[in-house]
A and B are shown apart, each in its own frame.
Chain A
Amino acid sequence: MAIARVIVELKPGVLDPQGEAIKNSLHALGYEEVKKVRVGKFITLEVEGNDLKEIEERVKEMADKLLANVVIEKFSVQVEG
């Protein structure tokens, strides 16, 4: 069994209304030092198998097809045994 971690983020330059709203709220709470907020998601998968290389390839496929909207998002994958 392996653990795969997928981080999905908006591509640079894509508008992030949620991040903007969080930034404004942080400013309202006095955290003026925050200059930029980008919100993404973090997905953990438990995957059967031993070949970490192959698992990484398969998870990348899953991210490309489903976990990320690759039109506006990018992703990275980490796999641990």
Chain B
Amino acid sequence: MAKWREMGLTDEEYRRIVEYLDREPNEVELGMCAVMWSEHCSYKSSKIHLKKLPTKGPAVVQGPGENAGVVDIGDGLGIAFKIESHNHPSAIEPYQGAATGVGGIIRDIFAMGARPIALLDSLRFGKLDSPRVRHLFTGVVAGIAGYGNCIGIPTVAGDVYFQESYAENPLVNAMCVGIVELSKLKKGVASGVGNPVLLVGATTGRDGIHGATFASEELSRDGEDKRPSVQVGDPFMEKLLLEACLEALEYGHIVGMQDLGAAGLTSSSSEMAARGKSGIRLYLDRVPLREEGMTPYEIMLSESQERMLLVVEKGYEDEIIKIFKKWDLNAVVVGEITAGEEIEVFFGGECVAKLPYRLLTEEAPVYDRPYQVPEIKNLQSVNPAGVDCGEALRRLLQNPNIARRDYVYEQYDHQVGVNTVVKPGYSDAAVLRIKGTKKGIAVKTDGNGRYVYFNPREGAKRAVLEAALNLAVTGARPLGLTNCLNFGNPEKPEIMGQFVEVIAGMKDACEILNIPVTGGNVSFYNETGEKAIYPTPVIGMVGLIDDLETGLIPMAFQTEGDLIYLLGEPTGELGQSEFLKEFFGDVLVPVPPVDLQEGKKIIDLLPLLKKQGLINSAHDVSDGGLAVSLCEAAFAGELGVNIDFITSLLPQEMLFSEKVGLVIVSVSPEKANEFEEIVKASGVAVTKLGRVNGNDEIEICLNGQRVIKEKLSELKALYEGGLRWALK
């Protein structure tokens, strides 16, 4: 087999490289081209579509193309945030795969000069009745905890689903959020002829060679052969690296900084060179190695963790090196900036690679792959009228996709740094304080692949609206989002069709909700054999609460006697709900529409209602539907509810449809009139559902008929036990 094919390049791609260079590349050069032209590094299948997303907005300081996006939160401060996938490594070695995923995204944040303050994780697994899935799930959660807890950054939020389509291909998407003084924002740029290039942090070993190309292939059944690709993380080393880098930035004279992630030294040097339109010369003999006898090929492609590349103003390198030595880290000048446009690599006195950075970056192929928009056909109908609502509620509360997630988040240190205002499980989004100000930020990840699979365009809208509502119910105004787009093989037109539709839906949602995209990551080839995952766009969103003291809305019901209202228009479709799956299996029935206009109104309205003191709590309707959401707000507040209202829908449709864009709020009785007036004036539909009671009782009557009467404490026990029972 031709060498380029082994490295994942097509014949046509190889021909283009030869044509561009006007010669055959040597082995080192070929390896560098292969990783940089891989899907993972080049975004060759997604680039032309990603361009359609809106990336500008008043709060955006840094859009896509850098190590992380940045939004302005006032007071000279910015929030740097990004999400990235580590799906393939986690499928092979769940603990280290997830841990190094967390490590990688943290480096992207402090490369911007930001101090990381929070981690989030969006996880997808198969069903827990399989031992392999349980192994992957427990390993991934332990890996996230192991890395995040050791480095001392709280893991504050995320989401997790268990669905058959992820059985062979779990998804591990890690997001990091950091805070930066905007005047000290750093970019990954290499410039200034003669400036030294420093490699700092851990030593370089043989781990992870060709990790990027590995992530760009489907997992084969004998994926075990690829096992050496998995890297091992060292969070204590990363803690030192984080502190040393921030100290070096404080000292100054750093031109640019970038982490070494996928494709290691090759990608960091060529991407920095491309941003600064400079050449870089590297001397590999100077790279501190962990193993003997490493070849230039291996050094250029190693994905050893906890390393950064710095470009420093000439003359200041000794001072910078001193800072890293103080933290017990390697720091060596491995090269310099040159006037040309080439990445020149020297080893043993010889030039072993000489490639223009353009060939590795902007000249990488861009494909407009053929796509076929999935058709929605053969819609069926189900008759839910026979299902007992109390029984349905009990079953849904202990469903692993709905039950309390404390098994996961109790393994994470979510308080370290004492910025966490609202702990996991007590809110739809995590809320963190911004020390030295009255402000807080709300952060959340979302993306239910089941809805996207059914209808990619509407499913993508749903993911964005849901994330935005999760922030809004805490009182936050969404500022920007980062996305992690997980799909199957883009060379298949039906997969590419899903991707194109998801981008179209996301574009609509971002525009109407006025939330720009500041960056993200695409992970293709999440399939094994013929089975691709549900198309899963994960949305990571950041929002701002201007004043935590007056603006923070709790999820829990607060006071006995408060009135409960529903904002938004329920429509009752059961399509793709957990209720449908639980009682009717995998049937295709119509899904609820995603009303972005009404969603936008609700997002704007919630902080306003809070500021005027008109609402005491807010919680959005999501997985499980209205009945589950009422229970969640009741459990969190340890207060029961008496619900009694008129509806034209069937009780099962009313209570278990998962329409996104509905929010439950509680209101003091004396404020009810004023509340209703303001909501009606805003054009948002509003229904009075009932009231909060002080009894151990969840009672729901519709049209005068009692459909549910359960003990709160019993339902709560089901909700709290569901996930643990599924693991036994």
Task: Report A's interface with B, CB cutoff 8 A.
Answer: 11-17, 20-21, 24, 69-72
Contact = CB atoms under 8 A, between A and B. Distances in A.
Contacts of B233: 15
B291 A12 contact: yes
A17 B237 contact: yes
B197 to A, nearest CB: 24
Contacts of A16: 232
A15 B205 contact: yes
B236 interface: yes
Nearest to A36: B290
B291 A72 contact: no
B230 A72 contact: yes
A69 B234 CA distance: 17
A71 B227 CA distance: 6
Interface string B226-266: 01101111101100000000000000000000000000000
B206 interface: yes
A17 B234 contact: yes
A17 B291 CA distance: 14
Given A13-B291, A14-B232, A15-B207, 7 more contacts: A15-B290, A16-B232, A17-B236, A24-B328, A70-B227, A71-B92, A71-B93
A17 B236 CA distance: 9
A69 B290 CA distance: 22
B227 A13 contact: no
Given A71-B227, A72-B230, A72-B232, A15 B92 contact: no
B375 to A, nearest CB: 41
Interface residues of B, number: 21
Q: Which of A13, A20, A70 neighbours the largest number of chain B CB atoms within 10 Å of its CB?
A: A13
B305 interface: yes
Contact of A72 (B93, B202, B206, B305): B93
A11 B290 CA distance: 13
Nearest to B304: A15
A13 B232 CA distance: 10
Q: Can you list the 10 inter-chain pairs with the closest CB atoms, starting with the nearest?
A: A17-B234, A71-B93, A15-B232, A13-B206, A71-B227, A13-B291, A13-B205, A14-B232, A71-B230, A71-B92
Interface of B: 92-93, 96, 202, 205-207, 227-228, 230-234, 236-237, 290-291, 304-305, 328
Nearest to B205: A13
Contacts of B207: 13-15
B148 to A, nearest CB: 16
A21 B227 CA distance: 26
A21 B234 CA distance: 11
A15 B93 contact: no
Nearest to B231: A15
A60 B175 CA distance: 39
11 contacts: A13-B290, A15-B202, A15-B205, A15-B231, A15-B304, A15-B305, A20-B234, A71-B96, A72-B93, A72-B96, A72-B230
Contacts of B230: 71-72
Q: Is the interface of B mostly helix, strand, loop or mixed?
A: loop
Counting chain B CB atoms within 10 Å of each CB, which of A15, A69, A72 scores highest? A15
A16 B233 CA distance: 9
Contacts of A71: 92-93, 96, 227, 230
B324 to A, nearest CB: 16
Contacts of A21: 236
A31 B202 CA distance: 22
Nearest to B294: A13
A60 to B, nearest CB: 16
A11 B228 CA distance: 9
Contacts of B291: 12-13
B603 to A, nearest CB: 44
Nearest to B89: A71
Q: Which of A16, A70, A71 gathers most chain B CB within 10 Å?
A: A71
A17 B207 CA distance: 14
A15 B234 contact: yes
A70 B205 CA distance: 19
B105 to A, nearest CB: 19
A71 B304 CA distance: 16
Nearest to A11: B228
Nearest to A17: B234
A68 to B, nearest CB: 12
B170 to A, nearest CB: 15
A3 B236 CA distance: 38
A67 B92 CA distance: 17
Contacts of B304: 15
Contacts of B228: 11, 13
A11 B229 CA distance: 12
Contacts of B305: 15
A44 B231 CA distance: 29
Contacts of B93: 69, 71-72
Nearest to A15: B232
A44 B249 CA distance: 51
Contacts of B227: 70-71
A4 B206 CA distance: 33
A24 to B, nearest CB: 8
Nearest to B305: A15
Nearest to A13: B206
A12 B587 CA distance: 51
Contacts of A70: 227
Contacts of B234: 15, 17, 20
Contacts of B96: 71-72
A71 B96 CA distance: 10
Nearest to B203: A15
Contacts of B202: 15
Nearest to A10: B232
Taking each of B232, B291, B328, which has the highest tally of chain A beta carbons within 10 Å of its own beta carbon?
B232
Contacts of A17: 232, 234, 236-237
A20 to B, nearest CB: 8
A21 B328 CA distance: 11
A27 to B, nearest CB: 11
A52 B551 CA distance: 71
B30 to A, nearest CB: 23
A17 B92 CA distance: 21
A20 B306 CA distance: 14
A21 B235 CA distance: 13
A78 B641 CA distance: 65
A70 to B, nearest CB: 8
Contacts of A15: 202, 205, 207, 231-234, 290, 304-305
B662 to A, nearest CB: 45
B565 to A, nearest CB: 53
A20 B232 CA distance: 13
A45 to B, nearest CB: 22
B264 to A, nearest CB: 14
Nearest to B237: A17
A15 B236 CA distance: 13
B246 to A, nearest CB: 21
Contacts of B206: 13
A12 B228 CA distance: 10
